A and B are shown apart, each in its own frame.
Chain A
Amino acid sequence: MRITCPYCGNRSLDEFLYHGDAEPQRPDATADNAMDAFVSYAFERTNPPGQHHELWYHEAGCHAWLVVTRHVSTHAISSVDIARDLAKARTPNTAGRA
């Protein structure tokens, strides 16, 4: 399997670290149901066959976090996105440090 990093280009799998499912979003820690929500966030995965969105880290390359859309039966990768861009699009008002 090879992954095409949006920055570095097509690279061998051994440059990357898999970091799990990219779908779960960190729950609101102040919510009344925070405990249940965090248990679900940390442990519960449906793991269906087909397309998965996965977090990969280009550890031996540019150090970018990527969201790889991969078919877990065929390993076919249909898209690779920059995790930071997706996260910023979800929460557009986090300006970050100055």
Chain B
Amino acid sequence: MVENILQARSAFPEFSLSRYHQLTIAVREHITMVSLAAWDGQSEKVQSVIQSIYGHSLPQRPVRVGGMEVSFLWFGPDRWMAVGERDGGRDLEENLKRHLHGLAAVVDHSDGRAVLRLSGARARDVLAKGLPLDLHPRVFKANDVAITHASHIGVLLWQVDDAPTYDIAVPRSYAHSFSDWLLDAAEVFSAI
């Protein structure tokens, strides 16, 4: 079996949790991400399939819907990213592939993306050093999603709650560069 040969390894082997003054940076392991891209003309069918299976209306603008088990992030026009907890398997990918056969391209990103979680009152200040977006609560709120870049690295970012907490997914091969930048940017908040 493949599982016996390939052992899952963290994209961030050098740290798991960093605490600063009013800021925590943690690695989100055990996450599964699967992109859905509706074939031309099939978007409404994709939406009704997801509605009937998961009970969520796929968003038409950059927000997240869903709950703890699985959520759906807007990921471009007629595209979404399903995000869930990975309990060892690839159930999410397999379920989506089965139900959306012929309607959408379903691609697993679980091992291709690395996800960090920033939380605390200083999270906005750290991200402001490299993310070209206004995250002020007036314009970017809980469940808002953005595809952009941070420190020249493409990111998918979503706000989890009003702490504020942000999850940031980067291509796995950029995980080291990204965490280097982020920890450097956060350094100033280590002294209280």
The interface of chain A, by Cβ under 8 A from chain B, is 7-9, 11-12, 14-15, 60-64, 82, 84, 95-98
- Encode B49-68 as 1/0 by CB contact (under 8 A) with A: 00000000000011000000
B interface, over-half SS:
loop
Determine which of B41, B42, B62, B102 lies in contact with A7 in the assembled complex, contact meaning CB atoms within 8 Å: B62
Determine which of A14, A63, A84 lies in contact with B132 in the assembled complex, contact meaning CB atoms within 8 Å: A14
The interface of chain B, by Cβ under 8 A from chain A, is 39-42, 61-62, 75-77, 102, 132-133, 146-149, 154
From residue A92, how far is it (CB to closest CB) to chain B in Å?
Answer: 12
From residue A23, how far is it (CB to closest CB) to chain B in Å?
Answer: 23
In the complex, residue of chain A having the shortest beta-carbon distance to the beta carbon of B37: A63
A–B Cβ pairs within 8 angstroms, 19 of them: A7-B61, A7-B62, A7-B76, A8-B62, A8-B146, A8-B147, A11-B132, A15-B148, A15-B149, A62-B62, A62-B75, A62-B147, A64-B76, A82-B77, A84-B77, A95-B41, A97-B39, A98-B41, A98-B42
A-B contacts besides A15-B149, A61-B148, 17 pairs, CB < 8 Å: A8-B62, A8-B147, A11-B133, A15-B132, A15-B148, A60-B148, A62-B62, A62-B76, A64-B76, A82-B77, A95-B40, A96-B39, A96-B40, A96-B41, A97-B39, A97-B41, A98-B39
Instruction: Kindly list chain B residues whose C-beta atoms are within 8 Å of the C-beta of A11.
Output: 132-133, 148
Bound state CA distance, A60 and B62, in angstroms? 14
Determine which of A12, A60, A95, A98 lies in contact with B154 in the assembled complex, contact meaning CB atoms within 8 Å: A60
